[in-house]
A and B are shown apart, each in its own frame.
Chain A
């Protein structure tokens, strides 16, 4: 205690002039073009796609059997041909129409069910039981029943589509609602918000990351179910959809067209994921700092 160490005694105090906001500026160094390119997510993803296409092309050429695996270039050609002359666009539209109807209906039902679940205890029990029962059940397994109930047509398709959308969306939305921070819930109740207004103004935006995940899952499940349904049961109400296009092409051994059909499904998936959902995310949860 008593001894003063030499360092403490001898080192002089120093004072510096701090000029506010002067010459320091923002610390930044310009990045090399390569760094800038590799930081662009869209560009990197495009690179991945090109690489996959290249692997496909090389493998198919090495195999040399276009009946089994037509090369990428042949598939693209068949795709363009089908688009221009084969009525592929119409078939896509037929599929998308019913898909959107089923998807929208599924979302609305999920919204009603989860609102009911979060505002009442019996609703919560109901939702948890129903999602536990129906999430593992492939929606397509209900198609035979749906055909008996609603006949061969868009109503049966809509029914199985709703099945495939409703449960994953409801499950994720409910999980999102449950994980909203207690503080934010108290803030909402402090404002006097209750019931539907509370769900809409506090829970939905706060749980948006989970809700979007659910919507993406629902979209993917809906596509799978629709293509499967069209493949198995073919035409519904006059115009065939994309699944029917694939099935028909297989029957005529037009394998490049089969690939073109599958190719279309994946392209639409890529666009929906990377354009639509991504735009929504950038404008909402990323802008709000709720996701990276």
Chain B
């Protein structure tokens, strides 16, 4: 498997569960070392986790519960010695504002809803201004209404700041909505099935056409698998 992510791209890895999309993301994050091949970030080989690749997880417990929203966003900035305390506080305030949580800046995570926690996690990752933002199904544990709102907000944030991200999901609509380029994986064994460009935002007809195409490609796989089993 081989693919490239360009700067400023919203690169979505889409595939059914068990195809290894989270594994790829963890490898990019540096948590797993590939048995073969290598992962490069701007020429450097990825060997271990680091703050140049900030990760947003699916689980709500990714926020240390002993730190307030503000402290949570400042935490990686201080630990990685990127900024002084006052500069970190300033930047944290800015990104908390970006995700509309200024009112909750001094709340502890356990008092927040799931969607708010994910917004804190996104603010925390963006505040680091990482080379790449890694999102591991960040909205999968949210209810449908909140998920849709979060997707809109994410796109808005991208319009503001223009970060590079790799976004893993198993939802076709989410992939098409959030991605600018979509890597389609086939079910086990995970192989790249296609690399597609997403349709322009707001162009309802071509978005729907794309969704159908993706669906057909994925279902063709499933049918093949069924046949192979019989």
Contact = CB atoms under 8 A, between A and B. Distances in A.
Specify which of A181, A187, A284, A287 lies most central, judged by the most chain B CB atoms within 10 Å of its CB: A187
B49 A183 contact: no
Given A192-B49, A192-B80, A284-B66, A289 B111 contact: yes
B101 interface: no
Specify which of A183, A205, A208, A290 lies most central, judged by the most chain B CB atoms within 10 Å of its CB: A183
Contacts of A288: 65-66, 108, 110
Interface stretch (B50-58, B151-159, B162-170, B188-196): B50-58
A142 interface: no
Interface residues of B, number: 24
Contacts of B79: 191-193, 197, 201
A186 B57 CA distance: 9
Contacts of A192: 49-51, 79-80
A181 B29 CA distance: 18
A75 to B, nearest CB: 43
B64 A289 contact: no
Interface string B104-137: 0000111100000000000000000000000000
Given A284-B66, A289-B111, A183 B50 contact: no
A45 interface: no
A215 interface: no
Contacts of B108: 287-289
A149 to B, nearest CB: 42
Interface in A178-208: 181, 183-184, 186-187, 189-193, 197, 201-202, 205-206, 208
A73 B57 CA distance: 61
B9 interface: no
Contact of A186 (B55, B109, B111): B55
Interface in A277-292: 284, 287-290
A289 B49 contact: no
Interface in B16-75: 29, 31, 48-51, 53-55, 57, 59, 61-62, 64-66, 75
Nearest to A186: B31
Given A186-B31, A187-B62, A289 B80 contact: no
B62 to A, nearest CB: 5
A144 to B, nearest CB: 44
Given A289-B109, A289-B110, A190 B76 contact: yes
A287 B68 CA distance: 11
Interface residues of A, number: 21
Contacts of B54: 190
Contacts of A201: 79
B223 to A, nearest CB: 28
Interface in A119-153: none
A289 B164 CA distance: 34
A186 B49 contact: yes
Contacts of A186: 29, 31, 49, 55, 57
Nearest to A180: B61
Nearest to B76: A191
Given A192-B79, A193-B79, A288-B66, A187 B109 contact: no
A190 B29 contact: yes
Given A189-B31, A190-B49, A193-B79, A183 B62 contact: yes
A287 B110 CA distance: 9
A187 B64 contact: yes
A200 to B, nearest CB: 11
A167 B79 CA distance: 32
B59 A183 contact: yes
Given A192-B51, A192-B79, A287-B108, 8 more contacts: A183-B61, A186-B29, A186-B31, A187-B64, A190-B50, A190-B55, A289-B109, A290-B110
Interface of A: 181, 183-184, 186-187, 189-193, 197, 201-202, 205-206, 208, 284, 287-290
23 contacts: A183-B57, A183-B61, A186-B57, A187-B62, A187-B64, A189-B49, A190-B49, A190-B53, A190-B55, A190-B76, A191-B80, A192-B49, A192-B50, A192-B51, A192-B79, A197-B79, A205-B64, A205-B66, A206-B64, A284-B66, A287-B108, A288-B66, A289-B111
